[in-house]
Protein backbone atom coordinates (compact mmCIF):
# COMPACT_ATOMS: atom_id res chain seq x y z
CA UNK A 1 0.00 0.00 0.00
CA UNK A 2 1.30 3.43 -0.88
CA UNK A 3 2.33 5.50 2.10
CA UNK A 4 -0.42 7.87 3.12
CA UNK A 5 0.57 11.41 2.26
CA UNK A 6 -0.31 14.18 4.67
CA UNK A 7 -0.82 17.77 3.69
CA UNK A 8 -1.90 20.76 5.70
CA UNK A 9 -4.87 22.95 4.91
CA UNK A 10 -5.82 26.34 6.23
CA UNK A 11 -9.28 25.94 7.81
CA UNK A 12 -10.32 29.44 6.93
CA UNK A 13 -9.25 29.83 3.28
CA UNK A 14 -8.21 26.37 2.13
CA UNK A 15 -4.55 27.21 1.42
CA UNK A 16 -2.51 24.03 1.05
CA UNK A 17 0.99 23.56 2.47
CA UNK A 18 3.36 20.62 2.79
CA UNK A 19 4.16 21.39 6.41
CA UNK A 20 2.36 22.97 9.33
CA UNK A 21 2.45 26.76 9.43
CA UNK A 22 1.56 29.01 12.33
CA UNK A 23 0.20 31.74 10.13
CA UNK A 24 -1.52 31.33 6.80
CA UNK A 25 0.44 33.14 4.05
CA UNK A 26 -2.75 33.57 2.06
CA UNK A 27 -5.35 34.87 4.52
CA UNK A 28 -3.03 35.79 7.44
CA UNK A 29 -5.08 33.71 9.87
CA UNK A 30 -3.16 32.32 12.87
CA UNK A 31 -3.31 28.71 13.98
CA UNK A 32 -5.64 27.65 11.22
CA UNK A 33 -3.68 24.75 9.71
CA UNK A 34 -4.90 21.21 10.16
CA UNK A 35 -3.46 17.98 8.90
CA UNK A 36 -5.29 16.10 6.17
CA UNK A 37 -4.54 12.65 4.88
CA UNK A 38 -4.33 12.01 1.20
CA UNK A 39 -4.74 8.38 0.29
CA UNK A 40 -6.03 6.72 -2.82
CA UNK A 41 -2.99 7.49 -4.93
CA UNK A 42 -4.43 5.35 -7.72
CA UNK A 43 -7.31 7.67 -8.48
CA UNK A 44 -6.97 9.60 -11.71
CA UNK A 45 -5.73 13.14 -11.32
CA UNK A 46 -8.69 14.88 -12.90
CA UNK A 47 -11.88 13.20 -11.73
CA UNK A 48 -14.65 13.07 -14.26
CA UNK A 49 -18.20 13.54 -13.02
CA UNK A 50 -19.28 10.72 -15.30
CA UNK A 51 -16.79 8.32 -13.77
CA UNK A 52 -17.72 4.71 -13.09
CA UNK A 53 -18.64 4.03 -9.43
CA UNK A 54 -15.76 2.65 -7.38
CA UNK A 55 -15.74 -1.12 -6.99
CA UNK A 56 -17.91 -2.22 -4.07
CA UNK A 57 -19.28 1.25 -3.40
CA UNK A 58 -23.03 1.50 -3.03
CA UNK A 59 -24.36 4.80 -4.30
CA UNK A 60 -27.70 6.12 -3.15
CA UNK A 61 -30.57 6.78 -5.51
CA UNK A 62 -32.50 9.99 -5.86
CA UNK A 63 -36.01 9.69 -4.48
CA UNK A 64 -39.12 11.81 -4.90
CA UNK A 65 -39.70 13.83 -1.75
CA UNK A 66 -43.31 12.79 -1.17
CA UNK A 67 -42.41 9.12 -1.46
CA UNK A 68 -39.92 9.27 1.39
CA UNK A 69 -41.13 7.52 4.54
CA UNK A 70 -41.22 9.60 7.66
CA UNK A 71 -42.67 8.92 11.06
CA UNK A 72 -43.00 11.61 13.67
CA UNK A 73 -42.47 9.04 16.44
CA UNK A 74 -38.93 8.42 15.31
CA UNK A 75 -37.79 10.00 18.51
CA UNK A 76 -36.77 8.20 21.66
CA UNK A 77 -38.21 9.92 24.69
CA UNK A 78 -35.91 9.91 27.67
CA UNK A 79 -37.17 10.30 31.21
CA UNK A 80 -35.32 13.57 31.40
CA UNK A 81 -37.86 16.20 30.36
CA UNK A 82 -35.28 18.96 30.16
CA UNK A 83 -33.13 16.95 27.77
CA UNK A 84 -36.15 16.00 25.67
CA UNK A 85 -37.07 19.65 25.33
CA UNK A 86 -33.58 20.80 24.43
CA UNK A 87 -33.34 18.10 21.78
CA UNK A 88 -36.65 19.21 20.31
CA UNK A 89 -38.85 16.46 21.76
CA UNK A 90 -36.57 13.47 22.33
CA UNK A 91 -33.58 11.75 20.78
CA UNK A 92 -33.84 11.44 17.00
CA UNK A 93 -32.81 8.04 15.68
CA UNK A 94 -29.53 8.11 13.84
CA UNK A 95 -28.60 11.54 15.11
CA UNK A 96 -25.17 12.57 16.29
CA UNK A 97 -25.28 14.88 19.30
CA UNK A 98 -22.29 16.70 20.72
CA UNK A 99 -22.44 17.72 24.39
CA UNK A 100 -19.83 20.32 25.25
CA UNK A 101 -18.89 21.82 28.57
CA UNK A 102 -16.08 22.81 30.87
CA UNK A 103 -14.30 20.17 32.94
CA UNK A 104 -16.16 19.21 36.08
CA UNK A 105 -19.42 20.80 35.03
CA UNK A 106 -21.24 17.46 35.01
CA UNK A 107 -21.22 16.15 31.44
CA UNK A 108 -20.36 12.60 32.46
CA UNK A 109 -22.93 12.72 35.22
CA UNK A 110 -25.64 13.93 32.84
CA UNK A 111 -24.94 11.30 30.23
CA UNK A 112 -24.63 8.44 32.72
CA UNK A 113 -27.92 9.53 34.21
CA UNK A 114 -29.52 9.43 30.77
CA UNK A 115 -27.98 6.00 30.19
CA UNK A 116 -29.45 4.68 33.43
CA UNK A 117 -32.88 6.14 32.78
CA UNK A 118 -33.63 4.35 29.54
CA UNK A 119 -35.99 1.56 30.40
CA UNK A 120 -36.23 -1.03 27.68
CA UNK A 121 -33.35 0.36 25.68
CA UNK A 122 -29.84 -1.01 25.52
CA UNK A 123 -27.26 1.68 26.14
CA UNK A 124 -23.52 1.42 25.61
CA UNK A 125 -21.53 3.97 27.60
CA UNK A 126 -17.95 4.16 26.35
CA UNK A 127 -15.54 5.97 28.62
CA UNK A 128 -12.00 6.83 27.77
CA UNK A 129 -11.55 8.86 30.91
CA UNK A 130 -12.66 6.76 33.84
CA UNK A 131 -12.33 3.15 34.94
CA UNK A 132 -15.27 0.77 35.30
CA UNK A 133 -15.03 1.09 39.08
CA UNK A 134 -15.18 4.85 38.94
CA UNK A 135 -18.24 4.74 36.71
CA UNK A 136 -19.86 2.17 38.98
CA UNK A 137 -19.18 4.45 41.94
CA UNK A 138 -20.81 7.34 40.16
CA UNK A 139 -23.80 5.19 39.22
CA UNK A 140 -24.17 4.21 42.88
CA UNK A 141 -24.28 7.87 43.76
CA UNK A 142 -27.01 8.51 41.23
CA UNK A 143 -29.23 6.00 43.03
CA UNK A 144 -30.98 4.79 39.93
CA UNK A 145 -32.87 1.55 40.01
CA UNK A 146 -30.48 -1.35 39.57
CA UNK A 147 -32.44 -2.96 36.75
CA UNK A 148 -31.08 -1.18 33.72
CA UNK A 149 -29.71 -2.33 30.45
CA UNK A 150 -26.61 -0.19 30.49
CA UNK A 151 -23.27 -1.57 29.32
CA UNK A 152 -19.99 0.09 30.25
CA UNK A 153 -16.89 -0.08 28.08
CA UNK A 154 -13.59 1.56 28.93
CA UNK A 155 -11.75 1.84 25.65
CA UNK A 156 -10.27 4.54 23.46
CA UNK A 157 -9.47 2.68 20.25
CA UNK A 158 -12.26 3.34 17.76
CA UNK A 159 -11.83 0.03 15.97
CA UNK A 160 -12.18 -1.87 19.26
CA UNK A 161 -15.18 0.21 20.20
CA UNK A 162 -16.91 -0.75 16.98
CA UNK A 163 -16.14 -4.43 17.60
CA UNK A 164 -17.94 -4.14 20.93
CA UNK A 165 -20.74 -2.14 19.38
CA UNK A 166 -21.35 -4.98 16.96
CA UNK A 167 -21.54 -7.46 19.83
CA UNK A 168 -23.72 -5.38 22.14
CA UNK A 169 -25.89 -3.79 19.42
CA UNK A 170 -26.94 -0.82 21.57
CA UNK A 171 -29.98 1.38 20.98
CA UNK A 172 -27.98 4.36 22.17
CA UNK A 173 -24.23 4.91 22.13
CA UNK A 174 -22.52 7.41 24.42
CA UNK A 175 -18.87 8.39 23.97
CA UNK A 176 -17.09 10.08 26.87
CA UNK A 177 -15.20 11.91 25.40
CA UNK A 178 -14.51 12.39 21.69
CA UNK A 179 -11.08 13.85 22.52
CA UNK A 180 -9.87 10.59 24.09
CA UNK A 181 -10.61 8.45 21.03
CA UNK A 182 -7.98 7.41 18.57
CA UNK A 183 -8.00 5.57 15.33
CA UNK A 184 -5.04 3.52 14.18
CA UNK A 185 -5.53 4.83 10.68
CA UNK A 186 -4.35 8.27 11.68
CA UNK A 187 -0.90 8.73 13.09
CA UNK A 188 -1.32 11.76 15.34
CA UNK A 189 -2.01 11.64 19.08
CA UNK A 190 -5.51 11.33 20.63
CA UNK A 191 -7.18 14.70 20.93
CA UNK A 192 -5.47 16.10 17.84
CA UNK A 193 -7.54 17.61 15.10
CA UNK A 194 -7.21 14.76 12.65
CA UNK A 195 -7.91 12.10 15.29
CA UNK A 196 -11.02 13.85 16.52
CA UNK A 197 -12.28 14.34 13.01
CA UNK A 198 -11.56 10.81 11.91
CA UNK A 199 -13.28 9.27 14.94
CA UNK A 200 -16.26 11.60 14.63
CA UNK A 201 -16.60 10.80 10.94
CA UNK A 202 -16.72 7.07 11.69
CA UNK A 203 -19.28 7.56 14.43
CA UNK A 204 -21.33 9.71 12.08
CA UNK A 205 -21.35 6.96 9.45
CA UNK A 206 -22.27 4.42 12.11
CA UNK A 207 -25.14 6.58 13.37
CA UNK A 208 -26.60 7.20 9.94
CA UNK A 209 -26.20 3.65 8.64
CA UNK A 210 -27.65 1.89 11.69
CA UNK A 211 -30.08 4.62 12.82
CA UNK A 212 -28.50 4.47 16.27
CA UNK A 213 -28.31 7.80 18.07
CA UNK A 214 -24.82 8.68 19.29
CA UNK A 215 -23.93 11.19 22.00
CA UNK A 216 -20.42 12.60 22.03
CA UNK A 217 -19.06 14.40 25.05
CA UNK A 218 -16.66 17.15 24.03
CA UNK A 219 -14.20 19.23 26.00
CA UNK A 220 -14.17 22.97 25.85
CA UNK A 221 -11.19 25.23 25.36
CA UNK A 222 -10.45 28.31 27.43
CA UNK A 223 -12.31 30.65 25.10
CA UNK A 224 -15.45 28.55 25.35
CA UNK A 225 -15.42 26.76 22.01
CA UNK A 226 -15.45 23.01 21.67
CA UNK A 227 -11.89 21.73 21.50
CA UNK A 228 -11.07 20.19 18.18
CA UNK A 229 -11.84 21.22 14.67
CA UNK A 230 -14.69 23.53 13.87
CA UNK A 231 -15.81 20.90 11.37
CA UNK A 232 -16.85 18.73 14.30
CA UNK A 233 -19.63 21.18 15.02
CA UNK A 234 -20.64 21.11 11.35
CA UNK A 235 -20.65 17.33 11.20
CA UNK A 236 -22.95 16.67 14.10
CA UNK A 237 -26.72 17.21 14.00
CA UNK A 238 -27.00 18.86 17.38
CA UNK A 239 -24.59 20.75 19.60
CA UNK A 240 -25.57 21.06 23.23
CA UNK A 241 -23.69 23.21 25.67
CA UNK A 242 -23.68 22.33 29.35
CA UNK A 243 -22.76 25.37 31.38
CA UNK A 244 -22.97 26.98 34.76
CA UNK A 245 -20.76 28.22 37.53
CA UNK A 246 -18.92 25.34 39.12
CA UNK A 247 -19.23 27.05 42.47
CA UNK A 248 -22.99 27.22 42.17
CA UNK A 249 -25.22 24.25 41.81
CA UNK A 250 -27.29 25.33 38.81
CA UNK A 251 -26.48 24.03 35.35
CA UNK A 252 -27.93 25.07 32.03
CA UNK A 253 -28.13 22.82 29.00
CA UNK A 254 -28.54 24.77 25.77
CA UNK A 255 -28.98 23.80 22.17
CA UNK A 256 -26.42 25.82 20.23
CA UNK A 257 -27.28 24.07 16.99
CA UNK A 258 -30.13 21.68 16.33
CA UNK A 259 -31.14 20.18 13.01
CA UNK A 260 -34.23 18.64 14.58
CA UNK A 261 -35.60 21.39 16.76
CA UNK A 262 -35.30 24.93 17.95
CA UNK A 263 -31.89 26.19 18.97
CA UNK A 264 -33.54 28.54 21.44
CA UNK A 265 -34.41 25.90 24.01
CA UNK A 266 -32.69 25.42 27.30
CA UNK A 267 -32.89 22.95 30.13
CA UNK A 268 -32.06 23.73 33.72
CA UNK A 269 -30.65 21.33 36.31
CA UNK A 270 -29.45 21.48 39.85
CA UNK A 271 -26.37 19.46 40.78
CA UNK A 272 -27.09 17.62 44.00
CA UNK A 273 -25.11 15.04 45.91
CA UNK A 274 -27.17 12.36 44.18
CA UNK A 275 -26.87 13.66 40.65
CA UNK A 276 -28.63 16.21 38.52
CA UNK A 277 -32.17 17.19 39.37
CA UNK A 278 -34.37 18.72 36.68
CA UNK A 279 -35.52 22.23 37.52
CA UNK A 280 -38.92 22.61 35.97
CA UNK A 281 -39.67 25.97 37.56
CA UNK A 282 -36.65 28.14 36.75
CA UNK A 283 -37.88 31.20 38.58
CA UNK A 284 -36.73 29.48 41.77
CA UNK A 285 -33.17 30.25 40.73
CA UNK A 286 -33.73 33.90 39.95
CA UNK A 287 -35.76 34.51 43.06
CA UNK A 288 -33.38 32.75 45.39
CA UNK A 289 -30.47 34.76 44.07
CA UNK A 290 -32.19 38.11 44.34
CA UNK A 291 -34.31 38.05 47.41
CA UNK A 292 -34.77 41.74 47.96
CA UNK A 293 -34.86 44.33 45.26
CA UNK A 294 -32.21 47.00 45.29
CA UNK A 295 -31.99 50.24 43.39
CA UNK A 296 -29.75 50.45 40.34
CA UNK A 297 -30.44 46.97 39.03
CA UNK A 298 -32.28 45.98 35.88
CA UNK A 299 -32.45 42.74 33.91
CA UNK A 300 -31.91 42.74 30.16
CA UNK A 301 -32.99 39.93 27.84
CA UNK A 302 -29.94 39.56 25.64
CA UNK A 303 -28.71 37.45 22.79
CA UNK A 304 -25.16 36.20 22.92
CA UNK A 305 -24.56 35.07 19.36
CA UNK A 306 -27.69 33.04 18.85
CA UNK A 307 -28.11 32.23 22.51
CA UNK A 308 -30.64 34.18 24.54
CA UNK A 309 -29.76 34.96 28.13
CA UNK A 310 -30.90 37.26 30.88
CA UNK A 311 -28.27 39.37 32.48
CA UNK A 312 -28.18 41.91 35.22
CA UNK A 313 -27.18 45.52 34.61
CA UNK A 314 -25.95 47.36 37.71
CA UNK A 315 -25.67 51.12 37.86
CA UNK A 316 -24.47 53.45 40.56
CA UNK A 317 -25.12 57.17 40.35
CA UNK A 318 -23.60 59.35 43.05
CA UNK A 319 -22.77 62.99 43.54
CA UNK A 320 -19.46 63.83 41.99
CA UNK A 321 -16.70 64.79 44.40
CA UNK A 322 -14.68 66.55 41.75
CA UNK A 323 -15.43 69.06 39.05
CA UNK A 324 -15.57 66.57 36.20
CA UNK A 325 -17.99 63.73 36.79
CA UNK A 326 -16.69 60.22 36.23
CA UNK A 327 -18.20 57.87 33.73
CA UNK A 328 -17.08 54.32 34.05
CA UNK A 329 -18.48 51.18 32.53
CA UNK A 330 -17.43 47.54 32.68
CA UNK A 331 -18.70 45.20 30.00
CA UNK A 332 -20.55 47.93 28.12
CA UNK A 333 -19.30 50.44 25.55
CA UNK A 334 -18.37 53.70 27.30
CA UNK A 335 -19.37 55.85 24.32
CA UNK A 336 -22.76 54.25 24.18
CA UNK A 337 -23.19 54.94 27.90
CA UNK A 338 -22.38 58.61 27.31
CA UNK A 339 -24.90 58.71 24.50
CA UNK A 340 -27.61 57.19 26.69
CA UNK A 341 -26.84 59.63 29.51
CA UNK A 342 -27.06 62.51 27.05
CA UNK A 343 -30.48 61.26 25.96
CA UNK A 344 -31.58 61.20 29.59
CA UNK A 345 -30.35 64.79 30.14
CA UNK A 346 -31.62 66.31 26.96
CA UNK A 347 -34.93 64.52 26.48
CA UNK A 348 -36.03 63.81 30.01
CA UNK A 349 -34.33 66.50 32.03
CA UNK A 350 -32.49 64.24 34.45
CA UNK A 351 -29.56 66.21 35.88
CA UNK A 352 -26.66 63.85 35.57
CA UNK A 353 -23.91 66.27 34.61
CA UNK A 354 -22.76 66.74 38.21
CA UNK A 355 -22.95 63.06 39.05
CA UNK A 356 -20.63 60.09 38.70
CA UNK A 357 -22.11 57.17 36.81
CA UNK A 358 -20.73 53.65 37.13
CA UNK A 359 -22.11 50.81 35.08
CA UNK A 360 -21.37 47.15 35.44
CA UNK A 361 -22.58 44.06 33.62
CA UNK A 362 -22.84 41.25 36.13
CA UNK A 363 -20.90 38.06 35.55
CA UNK A 364 -18.01 39.63 33.68
CA UNK A 365 -19.77 39.59 30.33
CA UNK A 366 -19.07 42.01 27.50
CA UNK A 367 -22.27 43.05 25.83
CA UNK A 368 -22.60 44.49 22.35
CA UNK A 369 -26.24 43.75 21.75
CA UNK A 370 -28.11 47.12 21.61
CA UNK A 371 -31.13 45.48 23.22
CA UNK A 372 -29.48 46.20 26.56
CA UNK A 373 -30.04 49.99 26.18
CA UNK A 374 -33.38 50.16 27.94
CA UNK A 375 -32.12 48.14 30.90
CA UNK A 376 -29.14 50.51 31.19
CA UNK A 377 -31.38 53.59 31.23
CA UNK A 378 -33.71 52.08 33.78
CA UNK A 379 -30.83 50.96 36.03
CA UNK A 380 -29.30 54.47 35.94
CA UNK A 381 -32.58 56.15 36.81
CA UNK A 382 -33.36 53.58 39.48
CA UNK A 383 -30.03 54.34 41.14
CA UNK A 384 -30.34 58.09 40.75
CA UNK A 385 -33.83 58.15 42.24
CA UNK A 386 -32.95 55.40 44.70
CA UNK A 387 -36.09 53.54 43.73
CA UNK A 388 -35.74 49.75 43.42
CA UNK A 389 -37.47 47.86 40.62
CA UNK A 390 -39.49 44.70 41.12
CA UNK A 391 -37.18 41.73 40.52
CA UNK A 392 -39.40 40.02 37.99
CA UNK A 393 -39.25 42.59 35.19
CA UNK A 394 -37.01 42.27 32.14
CA UNK A 395 -36.19 44.70 29.33
CA UNK A 396 -35.26 44.23 25.68
CA UNK A 397 -35.13 47.33 23.51
CA UNK A 398 -32.75 49.73 21.84
CA UNK A 399 -32.93 53.48 22.52
CA UNK A 400 -32.74 56.02 19.71
CA UNK A 401 -31.28 59.50 19.99
CA UNK A 402 -34.66 61.10 20.50
CA UNK A 403 -35.53 58.70 23.31
CA UNK A 404 -37.69 56.47 21.18
CA UNK A 405 -37.80 52.75 21.93
CA UNK A 406 -36.70 50.71 18.96
CA UNK A 407 -37.28 47.12 17.98
CA UNK A 408 -34.53 44.51 18.30
CA UNK A 409 -34.02 41.22 16.49
CA UNK A 410 -35.35 37.81 17.59
CA UNK A 411 -37.73 39.26 20.12
CA UNK A 412 -39.66 35.97 20.37
CA UNK A 413 -36.56 34.23 21.68
CA UNK A 414 -35.93 36.92 24.24
CA UNK A 415 -39.50 36.84 25.45
CA UNK A 416 -39.43 33.04 25.57
CA UNK A 417 -36.23 33.08 27.63
CA UNK A 418 -37.62 35.62 30.09
CA UNK A 419 -40.81 33.58 30.33
CA UNK A 420 -38.84 30.39 30.87
CA UNK A 421 -36.79 32.01 33.60
CA UNK A 422 -39.92 33.03 35.47
CA UNK A 423 -40.18 36.75 34.74
CA UNK A 424 -43.63 38.28 35.00
CA UNK A 425 -43.24 41.23 32.70
CA UNK A 426 -41.02 42.33 29.83
CA UNK A 427 -40.77 45.76 28.25
CA UNK A 428 -40.20 45.75 24.51
CA UNK A 429 -40.67 48.16 21.64
CA UNK A 430 -44.12 48.84 20.22
CA UNK A 431 -42.74 48.38 16.73
CA UNK A 432 -42.62 44.60 16.80
CA UNK A 433 -45.04 42.52 14.80
CA UNK A 434 -48.03 41.53 16.84
CA UNK A 435 -47.56 37.84 16.06
CA UNK A 436 -44.18 37.90 17.78
CA UNK A 437 -45.65 39.22 20.98
CA UNK A 438 -48.67 36.93 21.02
CA UNK A 439 -46.57 33.79 21.45
CA UNK A 440 -45.98 34.54 25.12
CA UNK A 441 -48.39 32.96 27.57
CA UNK A 442 -47.02 33.23 31.08
CA UNK A 443 -45.44 36.64 30.81
CA UNK A 444 -46.98 40.05 30.39
CA UNK A 445 -45.48 41.78 27.37
CA UNK A 446 -45.53 45.56 27.56
CA UNK A 447 -44.98 47.10 24.14
CA UNK A 448 -43.98 50.73 24.59
CA UNK A 449 -43.01 53.51 22.22
CA UNK A 450 -41.44 56.08 24.52
CA UNK A 451 -39.09 55.96 27.49
CA UNK A 452 -41.51 58.16 29.44
CA UNK A 453 -44.07 55.34 29.35
CA UNK A 454 -41.59 52.96 30.97
CA UNK A 455 -40.49 55.44 33.64
CA UNK A 456 -44.09 56.38 34.35
CA UNK A 457 -45.07 52.79 34.88
CA UNK A 458 -42.00 51.87 36.96
CA UNK A 459 -41.35 54.94 39.03
CA UNK A 460 -44.68 56.68 38.83
CA UNK A 461 -43.28 59.94 37.56
C-alpha distance from residue 283 to each of 279, 288, 299, 300, 310 (Å): 9, 8, 14, 15, 12
Judged by beta carbon, residue 273 or residue 435, the one nearer Mg ion is: 273
Of 101, 170, 218, 228, the one binding ligand TYD (CB under 6 A) is: 101
Is 109 among the residues that bind Mg ion (CB under 5 A)? no
Judged by beta carbon, residue 153 or residue 343, the one nearer ligand TYD is: 153
Pairing of strands 405-406, 398-399: antiparallel
Judged by beta carbon, residue 103 or residue 349, the one nearer ligand TYD is: 103
Judged by beta carbon, residue 224 or residue 363, the one nearer Mg ion is: 224
Q: Which residues pair with 396 in a beta bridge?
A: 428
C-alpha distance from residue 232 to each of 10, 201, 237 (Å): 16, 9, 10
H/E element, 329: strand 327-330
138 interface partner picked from ligand TYD, Mg ion, none, CB below 5 to 8 A per type: ligand TYD
Question: How near is the Cβ of 257 to ligand TYD at its closest, in Å?
Answer: 20
Site string for ligand TYD, 105-144 (x = CB under 6 A): xxxxx----------------------------x--xx--
In angstroms, the CA 461 to CA 459 distance is 6
Sort 124 into a burial class: Cβ within 10 Å, 0-12 / 13-18 / 19+.
Answer: buried
Of 47, 104, 120, 323, the one binding ligand TYD (CB under 6 A) is: 104
Judged by beta carbon, residue 127 or residue 329, the one nearer ligand TYD is: 127
Count of residues interacting with ligand TYD (CB under 6 A):
15
Question: How near is the Cβ of 11 to Mg ion at its closest, in Å?
Answer: 27
Question: How near is the Cβ of 220 to ligand TYD at its closest, in Å?
Answer: 9
Name the phi and psi angles at 126, rounded to 5: -100, 125
Find, among 168, 235, 232, the residue nearest to 194 by Cα: 232
Find, among 265, 218, 228, 259, the residue nearest to 111 by Cα: 218
Judged by beta carbon, residue 90 or residue 218, the one nearer Mg ion is: 218
243-282 binders of ligand TYD (CB under 6 A): 271, 273-275
Is 108 among the residues that bind Mg ion (CB under 5 A)? yes
**Angle subtended by helix axes 107-116 and 132-142, to nearest 10:** 70
Site residues (CB under 5 A) for Mg ion?
A: 108
Site residues (CB under 6 A) for ligand TYD?
A: 101, 103-109, 138, 141-142, 271, 273-275
Amino acid sequence: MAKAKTVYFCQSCGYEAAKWLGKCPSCQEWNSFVEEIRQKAGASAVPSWKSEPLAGAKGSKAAILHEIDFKEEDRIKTQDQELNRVLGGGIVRGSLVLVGGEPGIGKSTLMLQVALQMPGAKVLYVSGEESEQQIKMRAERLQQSAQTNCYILTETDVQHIFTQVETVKPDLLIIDSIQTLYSQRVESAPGSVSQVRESAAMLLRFAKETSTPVFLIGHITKDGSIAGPKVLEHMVDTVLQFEGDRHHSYRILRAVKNRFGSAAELGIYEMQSSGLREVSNPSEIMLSQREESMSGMAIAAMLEGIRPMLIEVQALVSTSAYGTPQRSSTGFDGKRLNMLLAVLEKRFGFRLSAQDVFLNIAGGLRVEDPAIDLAVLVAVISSQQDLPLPTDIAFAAEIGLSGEIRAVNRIEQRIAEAEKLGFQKIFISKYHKKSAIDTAKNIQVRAVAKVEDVFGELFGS
